[in-house]
Amino acid sequence: MVCGGARTERDYLQGLKDEYRNPSVTVRVKTETKSPLHVVETAAETYRSSDDAFDECWAVIDVDSFDQKGGGIQSNLTHSIKFAEEVKVNLAISNPCFEYWLLLHFRDHAGYLSDYKAARDKIKRYVPNYDKSGIRIGDYLSGVHEAISRARQRDERQRPPGKNPNTAVWRVVTQMVPPPSI
């Protein structure tokens, strides 16, 4: 798994891995922040060059992180999606940001989010000390299954998919966590 964010995605996904210790799931998280296409290329190269036999490879991308680094995000994203299909890399794109995924652990949210700060401010209602440079997985564990359900419903209903707000992180997380107990 290769993440486009410097810390947040890595800390969250590593925290899930450590918490659930699923022996059938191996998670290796790398960070690459140049562009969506570079994240996908890095994921594909890591997947191809690994000595381990992985069933899946994922690229986790925030739209807003790359949008702020200078235009052309839509073109780069479109090319990245096409390339990911060619090289068999699964995508978990969040629009505008990974923090939208975190917010879904606490509540449903369908309204437009302008950027990371808007999402962060909403998260702080539930995690007052939220700091993207140090995610504490314990703040989110009780809401993981609710976040999966909320994100899945929104992601599968949207046409075209990926409109703000949206996240496909639920797709990779369902591979990492056990189903909810009934």
For the stretch 96-111, pLDDT in tens is 999 999 999 999 999 9
Cis peptide preceding 178, ω within 30 of 0: no
**HSE (side-chain half, CA atoms, 13 Å) at 69:** 14
Q: Residue 106: give the domain boundaries.
A: 2-176
Angle between the N-to-C axes of helices 8-20 and 169-176, in degrees from 0 to 180, rounded to the nearest 10: 20
Q: Given its phi and psi angles, is residue 21 left (phi above 0), alpha (psi -120 to 50 degrees) or beta?
A: left
Q: Each residue of 148-161: pLDDT tens digit? A: 999 999 988 876 66
Assess if residue 181 is contained within a domain: no
Pair of tokens at residue 24: 């059938």
- pLDDT (mean) for 23-30: 71
Number of domains in the chain: 1
Residue 68 — very low, low, confident or very high, per pLDDT cuts 50/70/90?
very low
Assess if residue 182 is contained within a domain: no
The overall longest dimension of the chain from CA atoms, in Å, is 47
